[in-house]
Amino acid sequence: MLKFMLIILSFDQRVKTNGTFDRLFEITWGDDHANILEDGELLTLSLDQRSGSGLRSKNEYLFGKIDMQLKLVKGNSAGTVTAYYLSSEGDFHDEIDFEFLGNTSGEPYTLSTNVYSQGKGDREQLFFLWFDPTADFHTYTVIWNPQRILFYVDDIPIREFANNEAIGVLFLNTQPMRLHSSIWNAEEWATRGGLVKTDWSRAQFVASYKNFSADACIWSTLSGSSCPLNSTTRPWYREKLNTAATRKLKWAQKYHQVYNYCTDTLRFPNGLAPECKFA
């Protein structure tokens, strides 16, 4: 009987470590606040007054299409931030951000997007999501190629950051990045500029993840990119918005965008960023 139980336990462990989140990610902080479930195909990150939690991909990527399905914190999530982003290392890092800013019950979640190139950010665009992101899983996608970065929510593009190196704008094309996610307390600024604080009586706050997909070029310091020279045949490599997608982008920006750095002359009195002339 004991031998049979040991075999079962060994088999269960083997199945678990074959799951997506076991194989492709590592918990970076808050170990006891992160759980990998359903044979490695579901991940939860949680936050309470003691700790938040975070993870990152084991692989680094240099261009690709990255998808993840998230279900955000239910109820009063004021003061919390669930971050989902690609980032390189160092002071002059590159970064592509989705940040979900918590709310009081019944108010829309705010999705903050940002792009850092070689350490320079301040490119926020904010949106009110047009659905309840706590009721079910939704897909958040980054398409990153040498010409542009596209942000998608489900099948709707909400933002495009184009390569404008020709006018001196640094683009994200030299630094490989890992995918990161975390949940943490940002009550000093996250909800109504910090006016609404975290209600710790509602902890634990839990964000859930599934269906990660990376059709991307994996980077190795020893061998460089996993993509062959003919990687331009991959659909995302030259992806741009067609007419239908452009209509969706304009819809999202007209009806759901609540802040755009390219229109904020009070914050940038010395002039808007050069790429804003094309916005």
Q: What CATH number has the domain bearing residue 128? A: 2.60.120.200
Residue 154, in any domain of the structure? yes
How far apart CA 97 and CA 99 sit, in angstroms, is: 6
Q: Is 243 helix (H, G, I), strand (E, B) or coil?
A: helix
Q: Can you give the pLDDT at residue 230?
A: 65
Contact yes or no for 78/196 (Cβ under 8 A): yes
Catalytic residue among 41, 60, 89, 95: 95
Residue 13, in any domain of the structure? no
- Number of structural domains in the chain: 1
How far apart CA 71 and CA 270 sit, in angstroms, is: 40
Q: Can you give the pLDDT at residue 10?
A: 35
Q: Can you give the pLDDT at residue 4?
A: 38
Mean of the per-residue pLDDT values of the chain? 91
Residue 6, in any domain of the structure? no
Residue 239, in any domain of the structure? yes
Q: Is residue 17 very low, low, confident or very high in pLDDT (cuts 50, 70, 90)?
A: low
Q: Is 124 a catalytic site residue?
A: no
Q: Tens digits of per-residue pLDDT, 49-81?
A: 999 999 999 999 999 999 999 999 999 999 999
Alpha helices in the chain (DSSP H): 2-17, 20-24, 243-255
Is the entire prediction scored with pTM above 0.85?
yes
- Residue from 81, 168, 83 nearest 120 by CA: 168
Residue 16, in any domain of the structure? no
Least confident interval from 63-72, 108-117, 169-178, 232-241: 232-241
Asked, as a colleague might, if the bond just before 147 is cis with ω within 30 of 0, I would say no
Q: Can you give the pLDDT at residue 256?
A: 98
Residue 221 buriedness (CB in 10 A; 0-12 / 13-18 / 19+)? exposed
Residue 15, in any domain of the structure? no
Q: Is 239 a catalytic site residue?
A: no
Give the mean model confidence (pLDDT) for residues 235-264.
Answer: 96
Residue 201, in any domain of the structure? yes
Residue 75, in any domain of the structure? yes
Give residue 169's domain range. 21-278
Neighbouring residues of 12: CB distance < 8 A, sequence distance ≥ 6: none
Q: Is residue 8 very low, low, confident or very high in pLDDT (cuts 50, 70, 90)?
A: very low
Q: Can you give the pLDDT at residue 16?
A: 44
Q: Can you give the pLDDT at residue 252?
A: 98
Q: Tens digits of per-residue pLDDT, 101-155?
A: 998 888 889 999 999 999 999 999 999 999 999 999 999 999 999 999 999 999 9
Q: Can you give the pLDDT at residue 66?
A: 98
**pLDDT > 60? residue 241:** yes
Catalytic residue among 60, 99, 160, 187: 99
Q: Can you give the pLDDT at residue 24?
A: 97
